Amino acid sequence: MKRGILISITGVFILLSYIVSLIIIMQVPVVEVFTVRTREVESTVVCNGKFEYSGNQTVCSPYTGKINDIYVSEGDHVSIGDMLYSIIAVSDNISEYSNSTHSQEDIELVQRVLSGNPSALDEYSGDGIAVSKEDAIKTVDILSDYSGIVGEIYVAEKQSLADGDKVLNVSDSENMQIRLDVNEDKIAEIEPGQKVEISCNAIKDNSINGTVREIGNTAKQTSTTLGKETTVEVIVSVDSELDTEIKAGYTAKCSIVVDKKNNAILVPYEAVSYDDNGSEYVMCYSETGNCIKKTITTGKEYGDGVEVISGIEQGEILLSFSGGIEDSTFVKAEVDVDD
């Protein structure tokens, strides 16, 4: 009888102990943890620009006169010796016009043109003067001194121009560059020689490398979807061999690497909390299951976390989210998101 009572009491005690333990376990917070590891991190300035051919050579008129014909269009490929345009050119030598065989009106027309007023040729109808004064006014074909792609054409047929005026440019078709407008808030971080990661919708599966080559000396106002902003022009040279499908004018997204660290500690933003004094801290997970509060100092912010300069070391285990967890709280680590 007594033995049976003793067994019953022991059974009840074990059952109660189990129930109490179960209640305690159910009240223990379940948290996600991760292991602190060092990694390489980069700070970037991201801008969008356009692919364009590099090495522009500007073709200027060697004569004062009037454009007769333009033989090329923007985007055409030209080789050395190809005809670019023709010009009704006025000779530098008008001494022959000092004799009486030419009218004073003709002489004055030529003198006006040579004195820097090419629009005087607008008064010239085209036929008679080119034939009767072919030694002074003649049609000349202008040939290309460069091989490449015709870029912008600055003139139109029948347009008057002076010696040295820009006619068009020819770009190096073998090399490309990207022209960026960088906001004044970021330009101080940009330096020539910095590496650039380039992406383009036309080459989804390929990565393109570039280098900052030039930084403009003046700022300008640039229109954006948010209004106007002050920017400085930056030229990025494209280092990678490009796919033949890449064309001038395609949009390029450039990530300029302005800072790089090889052994940085980065933690998720959610892992960092602030105490009543405004100090930043994280919760470490100990081998016994208790949380240990550690004050930290943070550095630069990145897209996937914040750099921790001091307070924790590689190999420690942290709570992924420390909100609502007090120091010394016993918790259960259910998932290690990093491992």
**According to the model, what pLDDT value does residue 241 have?**
75
Give the Cα separation of 213 and 190 in Å (integer): 10
Q: For residue 141, what are its two tokens?
A: 């074909």
**According to the model, what pLDDT value does residue 123 have?**
58
pLDDT in tens, 214-259: 999 999 887 777 778 899 999 999 987 765 677 888 899 999 999 8
**According to the model, what pLDDT value does residue 160 have?**
84
Residuewise pLDDT in 10s, the chain (339 residues): 555 555 555 555 555 454 444 444 446 778 888 999 998 888 899 999 998 887 778 899 988 888 989 999 998 989 889 999 999 887 655 444 444 455 666 667 666 665 556 566 555 544 444 334 445 567 889 999 888 888 889 999 988 888 889 999 888 777 889 999 999 999 999 999 999 999 888 777 677 899 999 999 999 887 777 778 899 999 999 987 765 677 888 899 999 999 888 889 999 999 999 988 889 999 899 888 888 899 999 998 888 889 999 999 999 999 888 777 888 788 887 755 445
Enter the pTM of the model. Answer: 0.56
**According to the model, what pLDDT value does residue 331 have?**
81
**Which letter does DSSP use for residue 272 in this model?**
-
Contacts of residue 134, defined as CB under 8 A and 6 or more positions apart, other chains included, come to: none
Cα separations (Å) of 263 from 94, 213, 266, 317, 331? Answer: 76, 28, 10, 18, 30
**According to the model, what pLDDT value does residue 168 have?**
93
Using the Cα atoms of residue 45, residue 49, residue 52 and residue 55 in order, give the sign of their dihedral. negative
Helices (H), 62-205: 104-114, 128-132
pLDDT in tens, 12-33: 555 545 444 444 444 677 888 8
Neighbours of 309 (CB within 10 A): 13
**According to the model, what pLDDT value does residue 134 have?**
47
**According to the model, what pLDDT value does residue 69 have?**
92
Contacts of residue 104, defined as CB under 8 A and 6 or more positions apart, other chains included, come to: none
Strands 297-302 and 305-310: antiparallel
Residues in the chain: 339
Tokens 């052994």 locate to 263
Cβ-in-10-Å burial (0-12, 13-18, 19+) of 151 comes to: buried
**According to the model, what pLDDT value does residue 95 have?**
42
